[in-house]
Structures are given as C-alpha cells and as structure tokens.
Structure 1
C-alpha cells in the first residue's frame, strides 16, 4: 500500500477466527490500535518531529506491502492530521480563542425576566442639588429679612396711630383717608426712592383739607423731630406785597436745609404747603424742580402735601350730579375730572397723587359740632346740636343735604355760645 494511506491492520489468521468471537476481536483491535498510537506519540516527543514517515524509520516500501503483520506492529503508519499531538503555535492559539469568542457571542442565550423582585437603579445624589437648596434657603431668608425691615420702618412712623387719629377727627372723608394711608405705607416702607412723594388734597372749602394737613404735621412732629416737618402757608410766608425773589430764595433755603439734615439721620422730611391756589407761578416752578427724578438722593426722600381749593367747583358739581350713585364706582371718574382742572392751572400736578375731598352731609356737620362742643367744654345736648346744624346752608339733592360751607362755620357758631353764657 501507499504510505499516505491510513494504518493497515494485519488480518487475523483464519484458524483463529473460528475460535474468537466478534466482540472479543473488536476489543483486541482497539487495544492494538491504542498501543500503536502511544508508541507514535512517544517517538514524536523524543525526536521533536511533527510527522512520522516510513522513510525516516528505515522501513522499505516493499517490506510494508509483503509483511502485513510486521506493519501492524510497527510505528511506521502515518498519523492523520486531525490525530496529531503537535504543540500549537501562538497564532493558532489566538485563532482558536477568537473562534471561541465568536461562538460564545453568537450562542449567547436569550435571557427572559424572571419572577424575582425588581429593584429600581440606585440614584446617585448630586452635590449641585445641595448647593441649589442652600441658595434657595439664603434667598428666602433675605426676603423675610427685607419684610421685617419694611415693618420696622413703618413702625417708626406709626401709621396705624395716624389712621386712627384721622378717622376720629376728620369726618365724611373715609375714601380720602384710606388713599392717604396707602400712599404713606408704600413710600415710608423704605428709605431709598427714585422720586419724592407728592400728595395733592383738593376740594371745596370746609371739607377738612387744612385740618388734615395740621393733623399730618402734628403726627410726624411727634414721631420725628420738629426740624423735619415744615408747614408753609402762602398768605403768611409770601403775601402779595412781598417780593417774589425773596419768597423764592426763602422757600428754596427751607427745603434744602430740611432735606440735608434729614438725610444725615436717615429720616424722610414732610412739607405741608397750604393755600396752593394763591402761590405764584414762579414759586410753583421752584417746587416743580424739587419734584423731578434727576436730582441728588436727599431730595428724592421727601413728602410734599399740597393743599388747595383748586378743583373744588368740579367736585361739587360731580357730587350733586351723582348723588344717587355709589361713590365707590365713580372715584376714578372724579379723579380724572380734578386732574384735568389742575393741569390747566399748572403742570406741577402732573407728578402729584390726587386725593379729592367730597362734600359733607348733614350727619357729618352734626359730628363736627359734637366734637367742637366737647373741646370747648359744653354739654353735648342733642337738641342743641341739631339746632346749630340746622342754621347752616345745604345743597338738597334727592333726600340728601350737603353742606355748602362744610365745617368751616362750626367753630364760629360754638364761639358764639360763650357770649350767651
């Protein structure tokens, strides 16, 4: 046979076949084959060769073809490539590993969710979240601190006491009192402003405008120093026969000196200017310069109360025409009417907060007499009070009586009682 063929097993003699069974013969063949494989493996390990060829072992080709029994026992048979026990090289090992990895990847089993308890992934807490919470806490603390500071400023001026005083001594002007208190609360809550507060009290004679100005001056003198409250009456401080330049210099000096001293002590001065309808246009221009926004800080922190009869006729007409209407629904319309009348007189009222004072009813006049009688020490007789109130003149409109002169004649009527006693 050719040497490239597989190992040839020598046939068992015919005289032995009859005495040995087929299973036993298969065992003998397998045992002989294993011996041959072991010998060939030992020989490869000693010589270091990769293959066993018959020419290297010194066995001629003819002897292999003639002596079949010796060929079976010899180790000259060639080993198939897939039965070799050569030590693999590094490249072969890498190829095998890559093939195994590919097989593992391709043969990965599909995992189905089991019936076990599921857990959500653990969330890692961020440090930025803590910083954000700290920043929010600081902002909230600053807001609370600012609110407390606003309350402290309002307590310093005692606006609650001022409101009670005005409600007790000023009759028939509930809406005007609420408007003035709200303006003071918004402005006096802080010491830094972008413009001064200008409040204009307008209405007919005898409705309580001047009395309101005196109450404001008295109150702020009690909560602050007397030097930070200035009352200016045009007929007294600047009569008609005086020089305008002198009045101008005097008014400018009073305002500048007051605001400068108030700024050093972080207080807001109050200027009460009465009889504004008699003030000359030159002085009005001087005042308007102090009401502007583009000036130094000390002039921005000030309160100006302008009291005048300007717009009184318009208020009287409006009240009489709307006597049956709800006053709350016509306040804005009344405000616009008064503002248009004031603008015709001078542009200084463009920056002012208009507070209209309406006509007083007969019940308000009765309260004025009662308060004045108690001040003068008279016994408050109701019949006497009604008699005194009936001596005044009234507008009669739809079962309502509005005083023509307001409470202006009340003091004179009560003083006449002293002459009869």
Structure 2
C-alpha cells in the first residue's frame, strides 16, 4: 500500500513539474511576442559556430580553435566573471570580418542585422583625432545605453589601425571583472576588435615556419601572443597605442589570422562559385588561383590580398 501511495505521489509531482515548465515556456513565448527583448533573440548555437568555422574558414587553425573554445566557455557560465573580449589580428582578406559575422549569426541568427550587434568603423564614427575627447563621451554613453537595453550586446570595433589613439580607453572600465559599471551589469557582453596591426609578426612567423619545413598547423598562439601585444601597444598607428586595455590585460585572447596560400585562395574561389551555382567550374578556380599576386618575391608563398580579391577575379573569368 505504501509503495502504491509513493508511486502516486511521484506521478503527481512529475505532472506538476511538467505543467510548470509548459506554463513557463508559454509565458516566455508570450513575453517575446508582445515586447522586444534580446533574451528572446539570443539563441546561441555553439555547434553551428564550430562547424561554420571548420567548413568556411580556410587556413586558420588558430582562429578556429581559439574562437570556438572561448565562445563555448563564455556561454557556459550563466553569470560570467567578465565580458568576452577578442582581438583579431592579421592581413586583409584572411577572415577576420568573416569570423565576426559568424559569431553574430550563430548567437542571434543574423550577422549585422540584429539590433543587439553594434559595429564601429573609425573612418565613419571617429574620423577626426582632434575630437578624441568628444568621441569618448559619445562612446561611453552609447555603451551604457545599449548594455542597459541588452546585457548580451555584441560590440565590434573594426579597423582598429585607424582608431584615434585614446578613444578606445573609455571602453576599459566595461571590460574588467567588476560586478557593474555605472549601475549596469555588463559582464555578458562580447567585444571584438579587428586590426591589421600585428600582421608583420604573424606573416614573418608563417614564412619562417614554412622555410623550416614545419606545417603551418604546428604554429601555436604562445609563439605570437606577446609579439602581437607589443606590436599593437607600441605602434602609433594602432588604436591600442599605449592603451589601458593592453596594460591591464583586459583582452580575453589575441586571435592571429595567418597569411593564405594558393590552396586557400582556390578554396575561397570554389566556395564563391558554389554560392553562384557554378561549382563545376574548376577551370575558374585554377584561373583565380593563378591570377592572385603572391609574396614575398622569392618564393611567392602567400596571397598579398588574402581572399579579398577573389569575387572580382571570378567575374573576370566567368
């Protein structure tokens, strides 16, 4: 009799628990229907991001590994200790902007189309170095407003090599481990900085690795991290020139993007052709690979423009 009664109690509890979750789910959907809430749009797909990086990012094992691991670790914490802060470095056309778009697409289902993903371009938003103080005030106000509206905001600072020195330091208080800044809980945000500063040290190591007969996949972050940090901190053209963000080690990780060889360029061409419904045009793939300029002059190992010129060159050969 006691066994039967116990089983009945367990069944009732299971029904109540299931009903609670159902009601909770219905309530959540109702809230998302009648109001704008970034939690409703935030649907992270870490596996999708990992697959996208593996399938569509060529020759960048460091970026694939670092971004996958850092994003996954960050999202596992319901209340992170600090924001996720990634700094992408490498030559033009190596995939930095592509990866930032992938992150947005797999967290909010869209890249720059989400109202919770914000991109800053220095030549557009901070064009005059003499107005650095005014830019700091405006940027601080912008960050506070958007973090108040959405703790899961994503901020992308593109072309950091064109950022007036000093402007980015206003972001420093938002990047540390404090519980709140200016009354706003900001630790769930993601910051991405994109720069070509540091490409010289990255490309030099890639060339030395090739000349030594090592595979590029053997290159590790520890071989580049300090060199990139010094390059962006000491370069007067860098938005991080003598920046608090570097001094106080507020970046989660530097993400190096290696220079691309001909096989990577041809993979970019093949992907572009498939998107146009022309997967069978292997002749165009080879033609594009042969038309790209490669450096250095002796050896010609790496594309001077990465994959950036691929769409235009495909137009010439189609």
Larger radius of gyration: 1
Q: What is the aligned counterpart of 1:363 among 256, 260, 263?
A: 263
Kept in 2: contact 1:235–1:278 (CA 8 A)? yes
Kept in 1: contact 2:44–2:108 (CA 8 A)? no
Q: 1:335 matched to which residue of 2?
A: 225
Of the two structures, which has the highest relative contact order with CA contacts closer than 8 Å and spacing of 6 or more?
2
Kept in 2: contact 1:258–1:269 (CA 8 A)? yes
Helix, strand or coil at the partner of 2:197? coil
Q: What is the aligned counterpart of 1:351 among 250, 256, 273?
A: 250
Helix, strand or coil at the partner of 2:166? helix
Q: 1:415 matched to which residue of 2?
A: 315
- Are 2:291 and 1:401 aligned? no
- Are 2:292 and 1:392 aligned? yes
Kept in 1: contact 2:88–2:255 (CA 8 A)? yes
Q: 1:142 matched to which residue of 2?
A: none
1:239-388 alignment runs, 5 A limit: 239-240=127-128, 243-263=131-151, 268-294=152-178, 296=180, 298-323=185-210, 324-326=213-215, 327-328=217-218, 330-344=220-234, 345-347=241-243, 348-349=245-246, 350-352=249-251, 353-378=253-278, 380-388=280-288
Kept in 2: contact 1:362–1:401 (CA 8 A)? yes
CA-CA distance at 1:417 after TM superposition: 4.7
Inter-partner Cα distance in structure 1 for 2:141 and 2:198:
30
Inter-partner Cα distance in structure 1 for 2:130 and 2:310:
33
Helix, strand or coil at the partner of 1:227? coil
Kept in 1: contact 2:123–2:162 (CA 8 A)? yes
Q: How many residues align?
A: 260
Q: 1:229 matched to which residue of 2?
A: 117
Note the alpha carbon deviations across 1:369-406, whole angstroms, 9 max, x for none: 11112223445321221112101112369988321211
Helix, strand or coil at the partner of 1:322? helix
Inter-partner Cα distance in structure 2 for 1:189 and 1:329:
28
1:12-411 alignment runs, 5 A limit: 156-222=43-109, 226-240=114-128, 243-263=131-151, 268-294=152-178, 296=180, 298-323=185-210, 324-326=213-215, 327-328=217-218, 330-344=220-234, 345-347=241-243, 348-349=245-246, 350-352=249-251, 353-378=253-278, 380-395=280-295, 401-411=301-311
Aligned CA distance change for structure 1 residues 379 and 194 (closer, same or farther; 3 Å): closer
Helix, strand or coil at the partner of 1:305? strand
Aligned CA distance change for structure 1 residues 257 and 165 (closer, same or farther; 3 Å): same
Structure 2 residue ranges without an equivalent (≥5): 1-41, 235-240
Inter-partner Cα distance in structure 1 for 2:124 and 2:185:
27
Note the alpha carbon deviations across 1:180-223, whole angstroms, 9 max, x for none: 11001111112312322111111111111112122222332318
Q: Which moved more, 1:351-360 or 1:368-377?
A: 368-377
Helix, strand or coil at the partner of 2:87? strand
Helix, strand or coil at the partner of 2:301? strand
Inter-partner Cα distance in structure 2 for 1:386 and 1:315:
27
Provide TM-score, normalisation by structure 2. Answer: 0.73
Inter-partner Cα distance in structure 1 for 2:297 and 2:206:
10
Helix, strand or coil at the partner of 1:307? strand
Structure 1 residue ranges without an equivalent (≥5): 1-154
